[in-house]
Each structure stands twice: as structure tokens, then as C-alpha cells.
Amino acid sequence: MDGPRLKFESVYEHTQAAALKYITSKCLSICDIDDIYQDTFLNVYRAICNTDKEIENEEAFVISIAKKSLSRYYGLLAKLKAQVSTGLARLPEGPMNEEIKDEVDVEMLVLDRALCDEIFETVSTMPIDIQRIVYMYYVLDMPLKMIALTLGMKEESVKNRLYRTLERIRRSYKRREAL
């Protein structure tokens, strides 16, 4: 059983970034990315365990499984539901049992969390291409050029959409800066 596990770990290490970029570029909602990513690599592990054949192109192998995971995840009903939905699911709250250091201003932490929630809600009402760009830039830490390649867009378009979105958020929360 050690053989498939080691093989999987090697495949995962070499393909995780490419798989995440692919899945992010194809998801209908950024909230689905983690589920599809986990499902993809669960199926990669199962496939490795069920075959003795050598994988010729690891990235192509994982991407083909990611395509199947996306297809299963977004059945016809799920696609319709995602198109009709106007928002994203809430992000799960962080662990509440963490120790808070004395020098940390709890009020500021609460205000920061509230502001993050409001910004998340604002972004979630924007078109999916904007959500993807924001997610790839801030969560995946991808450069604009890579985002453009992944989404099949011009780099200038990605940059304009990101900066217009940031300006819209700044205008929406300008009153917060006065506090």
C-alpha cells in the first residue's frame, strides 16, 4: 500500500498548482473550488491505487480527472442553480478558541473581520469573471499575466477589471477610512 501512496504524493506535488489554476478558471463559483479540488485528488488517488500502469503525463492525467470532477459537480441542475444564484456562500468562520494575546486590540479584530465580510459580500455580487480574477490574484497569489493566460483573456483586460473592482470597493468603503 506504500507504493500507491508515494506515487500519489509525487503526482500531487508536481500537479497541485496546475490543477488549482485549472479548477479555479472553470468553476462557476469560487466557493466550489475547494470541494472540486479535493474531489479531483481523491479520484487521482483512487485511479493510482487501481492501476499499475505508469502515468506518462501527470499534469494531463490530473487535468482530465479535474474535468470529470467539474462535470460531475456541475450537473445540469447545479449549473442552472449557479446561474440563477446572485451570491456566494459565506466563508466559514475561523476557529474561535485561539488564544488572543493581551496586546491585540479585540475591537479592531472584530472590525477587520466585519469589513472583510462586507468586502466578500460586495465581490460576491460581481460577475464570475471578476470573482475569479480577485480570487486568483489575492488568494492564489497569481500574477496578472498568469491570470490572463489561465482565463484566456488579455492581460490588460484582467488588470483593468481588477483595478476597477478595487476602486469600486474603495469607494464603497471610503467612509471606513475616516474612522
Task: Convert the pLDDT of each residue in 164-177 to its tens digit.
Answer: 988 888 877 775 55
36 Cβ contact list (under 8 Å, min separation 6): 23, 27, 66, 69, 70, 73
Compute the C-alpha angle 32/50/60, nearest 5°: 55
Query: For the ranges 69-83, 97-111, 120-134, which has the lowest average pLDDT?
Result: 97-111
Dist CA 168 CA 24 (whole Å): 23
Please report the domains of the chain, with CATH numbers, ordered by start residue.
2-84 (1.10.1740), 106-177 (1.10.10.10)
Dist CA 165 CA 146 (whole Å): 19
* Alpha-carbon distance values, 154 to 82, 103, 147, 150, 165 (Å): 26, 46, 9, 10, 17
Q: Considering the entire predicted model, what is its pTM? A: 0.61
Task: Convert the pLDDT of each residue in 55-72 to its tens digit.
Answer: 889 999 999 999 998 888
pLDDT category at 113 given cuts 50, 70, 90 is low
The grid coordinates listed for 133 are 480574477
Residue pair 66/25 in contact by the 8 Å Cβ criterion: no
pLDDT at residue 13, as a whole number = 93
